Amino acid sequence: MFKYEENPGYRMNDLTFLKEMEALSGQNISACYQCYRCTAGCPVVTQMDIFPHGIIRYIILGEREKVLKAKAIWTCVQCITCSVRCPNDIDIAHVFDTIRKVAIKEQKAAETDTWTFDKIFLDSVARHGRLHEIEAILRFKVEKKNLFEDAKMGIGMLLKGRMGIFPHSVRDREQLKEIFKKCSQ
């Protein structure tokens, strides 16, 4: 029988990170058997520094720093193709989103633009029922402190009517508030 104490060179996985991610995401990550189906279906895999099956593997191996600092979790566009394809029903997209939250909380995020845009986007939808593009873009630009970078293109789009100055809000905003309230519980 294999005994760790008789094999000092053998490194046992630290399961703390795996358990933490499973608890936070509600996913049975340890069920992954590295079939690569998630990676094979991902539309942005060529832009990732670590592929989706690799992120899952690193979680299982307890490679906390590698996972939290990965650019791949920010490259992910949350299309959920990987989650649908996983034969073990692991919602990989949700795991990625969970990693983002932990990375932001611990200030280890490789980049935060996606997170900033997500917050602004949802805030706009919560208030109007749909995205008010010009407001969201301006808020994003102010956060990034590069207000004039795409000004020419933005003015062109406004003049051609591709973006409206005023929001087109939905009628029943009370119902909208209720939906957001339920989602944040």
DSSP letter string over 35-66?
Answer: --HHHHH-TTGGG-SS-HHHHHHHHHHT-HHH
Instruction: Identify which of residues 41 and 167 has a Cβ nearer to ligand SF4 in the complex.
Output: 41
Minimum separation from the CB atom of position 157 to ligand SF4 (A): 27
- Rule CB under 6 A: say whether 81 interacts with ligand SF4: yes
Asked whether position 53 contacts ligand SF4 by CB under 6 A, the answer is yes
Is 44 near ligand SF4 (CB under 6 A)? Answer: yes
Backbone angles phi, psi at 130, to 5 degrees: -155, 165
For position 21 contacting ligand SF4 by CB under 6 A, the verdict is no
Nearest C-alpha neighbor of 98 from the set 75, 66, 68: 68
Measured over the CA atoms of residue 107, residue 111, residue 112 and residue 115, the dihedral's sign is negative
Contact between 36 and ligand SF4 (CB under 6 A)? yes
Tell me which residues touch ligand SF4 (CB under 6 A): 32-38, 41-44, 52-53, 56, 76-82, 85-88, 90, 92-93, 96
